[in-house]
Structure 1
Amino acid sequence: MSDIDREIMRVLPDAATQSPYLSTPDIHRRLMSTVQNMPSSKTIHRHLSKLEEEGLVEVDQRGTASVWRKKAGASGMAAKAGAMMSFDEALALQTLRRFSSRQIPGLVADSLSAMFEIADTRLQRTNNETERKYSRWASKVAVESGGFALNYPVIDRETFATVSRALFEERKLEILYRPRHKVDNDRAKVVLPFGLVEVGGLVYLVAGTEGKDNPTMYRMDRVARADAMLESFVYPISFSLDSYVRQQRSFDFMVEKEVLLKLKFVCGAGDHLLEAPMSKDQKSTRKDDALHVQGTVMLSQRLRWWLRSFGPYVEVMGPAGLRSELAAEAAELAQIYGQ
C-alpha cells in the first residue's frame, strides 16, 4: 500500500460505524490539509478504484458521482484479527474499551473500533463453559472514581484528530480558541503543538507561540476549530512534556513554592496516606487518637482543594501562612452557617 493509499484510508469514513459515504472531491479536500504535493482529484479517484478492487473500500453511485467509505474491519489489524483472535485477546480488548474512563484513551480508540466489534463478536460466539466464563468476565469487574463525579465537557472528535495529527507530524496548527472570558472570540491564532495532557477529567493542548519562551495551555473543549497547516516546525529539544507536567507542576493551578506541610488528622481521615504518601519524604506518627503527617509538597490551589475536602477532620499545623489562611476561611464558614 502506497503512502497516498494510507492517507486515503485514514480520512475515509468507516462502514463499521455506519458513517456516511464521502465523494471523491470531499476526500480530496480533506487530504489537501494534510498531504504535501497533493495529486489531482482524478488521481485520488484512480487510487480509490484500486482500493475498491482490493476489497478495502466500498463504493456507491449517487447519480453520476461515486461516493466511498472504508469497509468494516478494513484496517490491517482488524482484517487479520477476525479469524485469529483468541478469547484472551478479545477479553483484553473489551476490558480496555469498557474501563478506559479517561477522555484521551477513548478518543484515540476510534481507530480500533473495528477491532472492538470483532472482539465483541468473538466473546458472544461461545461453544463451552470455559468460553462462556470469558463472556461473563466483564460483568464481574467495575471501576469507580474516588472523587465526586462531574460531567466534563465533551471534546469534538474531529478537532481532537486534527490536533493530535498535527502534534504527531510536528506541523503548525491554526486554532480558534474561546476561553471562558471570551466565548465569542472569532480571531484564530497559529500555535506549535507540544503535547496533550489529561488532568482531572479535562484535556489540555500544550502549545508554543513563535516569539514567546513559555508554552500556553489550551483546554481542548474550548477549541472551536482546528486546522493543521502544511508548514512544519522544529520541535524544541529543550522542551520535555514530562518535566512540564511533573516537575514544574504546571497543572497544579497557581503553583507557588515548596513547603513543609504538617497535618493532624482525626477520625481516621488521613489513614490512606500511610499507604499512598503525599510526598517522598513523608513522616507520620500517632498521638492519642490523632495521626500526625508531614512532608514537603508544592503549595498550590489543588493542595488547598484537597485539604478542604477533609473538613473538620484535618488541622494544618504548618506552614503558618497556610494555617492562617484556612483559619480565616473556617471563620467565614462559621459565620455563614451560624446565620
Structure 2
Amino acid sequence: MATLTQWQILRTLTKRNQGTNEILEKLHQKGITLTLRSVQRNLGTLSGEFPIISDHKNPAGWKWSDSAELFALPTMDSTTALTLRLSEQYLAEMLPRTCVRALQPYVAHAHKLLDEISETGVGWWPRRVARISRQQHLISPTINDHVLDEVFQAVLEGKQLEVSYRSIGDESSTKRKLHPLGLVFDSEIIYLVATVWDYPDFRQFALHRISDAKKLDQPAKCNDTFCLDKYIAEGNFDFPRQQGQIRIRLLANKWLARHLEERKLAEDQIISKRSGGFLVEASVIETAQLKWWLLGLGTQVEVLEPESLRQSISTTIEGLHNIYNPKDRK
C-alpha cells in the first residue's frame, strides 16, 4: 500500500518522461520536502506496484508506461489538506452536521498527509497560526444537538421551523413558527435571523434559548429584499439606538488616538491635535455596543458630541459612582 507521500509522487508523473529533479521540484511546490535520493528510492519501490517505468539514465527519468490504464489517484495535495485542517478548526461550527459528517473521511486523510510532512512549511502551519478574542472569556451556553440539526437543516433547505423559544426575560418557552433567513455566529453565540408567523419584521433568536425545534415540510417565506450582510452592517447585532448615523466627536489621549489610526471607527474618520489631547471625528451608528466601548475606555476618552450620547454616558457614570460610593448619594 502506497503512503500518502508516495501518492503525491505518483501524481507528479505523466506519460512524458520527467527527470527526478523535475519531480522533486514539483513536490517542493506542494510543500513536500524530500531529498533527491528519497524520491529515487520511492520511485523504485512504486515501480514494483504501479505501471511506471524508468529510462535508466543517471539521474533517471520516470513516466507512466504507454500501456498503463487510466485510473484515479487520490487528488488531495498538501494545500488542500491544510485548507481542510483549518476549516475543521475554524469553520466546522458553521456547517450543517450532514456536511461535517460527509467531510470526515477527507479531514482524516488531511491529518495523515500533514502528519507525514509535519516538519515542512505547510505541515507546521496549523501549529503556527491561531485566532484569539480580546473579549472577556465566558463559557459557551449549551445548545441541544437536535435543535442544532433541525435549525441548520431548515436554513439549508429553506423550510419553515417550529420552535419552543424562551426570551431572555421570560420564565417559560412559547411556540413560534419561524421563516429562517440566515445564521450569525457572534463569538460563542449562534443566532437565527427569521421572521415570525406572518409578521414582516426581522427577529433574532439565540439557539441556546430554543428548547425544541422541528423542521416543517412547508417552504419558508422568502424576503427578496433581505440581505444578511447588509442587515449586520446596519448594526442590528450591536443593539442600535436609532436609525441612521451620528457624527461623533471625541477627545482622546495619545494612546487611543494611535490605536484609532490603526483601527478606524469609520472611513471618514479625522484625527487632529488639540489642547489636552486629540480630536477624533467619525460617522458611526449609535448603538449600545458603541456606548459600552466608550465606557470601557474610561478616562482615555471624553465624548464631546453628540450631546445626547454625552449625557447618556454621564448618567451611567453618575450611577456607577453612586454604586461604588454610596456615602456620596444625594
TM-score clears 0.5: yes
Q: 224, 236, 254: which is aligned to 2:223?
A: 236
d(CA) in 2 for partners of 1:269 and 1:103?
35
1:138 is aligned to 2:129 = no
1:330 is aligned to 2:320 = no
Tell me what 1:261 maps to: 248
Aligned to 1:165, the other structure's residue is in SS state: helix
1:306, distance to aligned residue in structure 2 (A): 0.9
1:88, distance to aligned residue in structure 2 (A): 2.1
Cα separation, partners in 2 of 1:234 and 1:178, compared to 1, 3 Å: closer
Identity of aligned residues (%): 24
d(CA) in 2 for partners of 1:169 and 1:99?
23
d(CA) in 2 for partners of 1:287 and 1:191?
52
1:222 is aligned to 2:209 = yes
The superposition leaves residues 277-320 of structure 1 with CA deviations (integer Å, 9 ceiling, x where unpaired) of 11222111123562211111111111111111111111101111
d(CA) in 2 for partners of 1:81 and 1:154?
43
Q: Unaligned regions of 5+ residues in structure 2, if any?
A: 1-70
Partner amino acid for 1:97? E
1:122, distance to aligned residue in structure 2 (A): 1.3
1:103, distance to aligned residue in structure 2 (A): 4.5
Q: 112, 121, 138: which is aligned to 2:103?
A: 112
1:165 is aligned to 2:153 = yes
Query: TM-score, length-normalised on structure 1?
Result: 0.67
Tell me what 1:84 maps to: 75
1:171, distance to aligned residue in structure 2 (A): 1.6
The superposition leaves residues 129-165 of structure 1 with CA deviations (integer Å, 9 ceiling, x where unpaired) of x854433332222221132222221333432222122
- Which structure 2 residues correspond to residues 292-331 of structure 1 after superposition, within 5 A? 292-331=279-318
d(CA) in 2 for partners of 1:332 and 1:180?
24
d(CA) in 2 for partners of 1:262 and 1:242?
28
**Which moves more between the two structures, 314-323 or 155-164?**
155-164
Q: 186, 189, 201: which is aligned to 1:202?
A: 189
Cα separation, partners in 2 of 1:334 and 1:267, compared to 1, 3 Å: farther
Q: Would you say the 8 A contact 2:179–2:221 is kept in 1?
A: no
d(CA) in 2 for partners of 1:333 and 1:189?
39
d(CA) in 1 for partners of 2:312 and 2:132?
33
1:251 is aligned to 2:237 = yes
Aligned residues: 254
The superposition leaves residues 18-62 of structure 1 with CA deviations (integer Å, 9 ceiling, x where unpaired) of xxxxxxxxxxxxxxxxxxxxxxxxxxxxxxxxxxxxxxxxxxxxx
For the pair shown, the structure with the greater C-alpha radius of gyration is 2
1:234, distance to aligned residue in structure 2 (A): 3.8
The superposition leaves residues 58-89 of structure 1 with CA deviations (integer Å, 9 ceiling, x where unpaired) of xxxxxxxxxxxxxxxxxxxxxx9993321222
Q: Would you say the 8 A contact 2:176–2:197 is kept in 1?
A: no
The superposition leaves residues 91-148 of structure 1 with CA deviations (integer Å, 9 ceiling, x where unpaired) of 2222333344x9435966454233221111112234xxx8544333322222211322
1:168, distance to aligned residue in structure 2 (A): 2.5
Tell me what 2:59 maps to: none
Q: Would you say the 8 A contact 1:103–1:203 is kept in 2?
A: no
Q: Unaligned regions of 5+ residues in structure 1, if any?
A: 1-79
The superposition leaves residues 176-207 of structure 1 with CA deviations (integer Å, 9 ceiling, x where unpaired) of 1122233432x422111111122343211111
Cα separation, partners in 2 of 1:119 and 1:263, compared to 1, 3 Å: same
Tell me what 1:155 maps to: 143
Tell me what 2:114 maps to: 123
Q: Would you say the 8 A contact 2:241–2:288 is kept in 1?
A: yes
Aligned to 1:179, the other structure's residue is in SS state: coil
Q: 89, 93, 96: which is aligned to 2:87?
A: 96
Cα separation, partners in 2 of 1:184 and 1:150, compared to 1, 3 Å: same
Tell me what 1:275 maps to: 262
d(CA) in 2 for partners of 1:223 and 1:82?
46
RMSD: 2.8
d(CA) in 2 for partners of 1:217 and 1:81?
47
d(CA) in 1 for partners of 2:232 and 2:74?
42
Aligned to 2:104, the other structure's residue is in SS state: helix
d(CA) in 1 for partners of 2:263 and 2:144?
35
Cα separation, partners in 2 of 1:312 and 1:277, compared to 1, 3 Å: same
d(CA) in 1 for partners of 2:75 and 2:171?
50
Q: Would you say the 8 A contact 1:262–1:294 is kept in 2?
A: yes
Partner amino acid for 2:205? Y
- Which structure 2 residues correspond to residues 173-212 of structure 1 after superposition, within 5 A? 173-185=161-173, 187-212=174-199
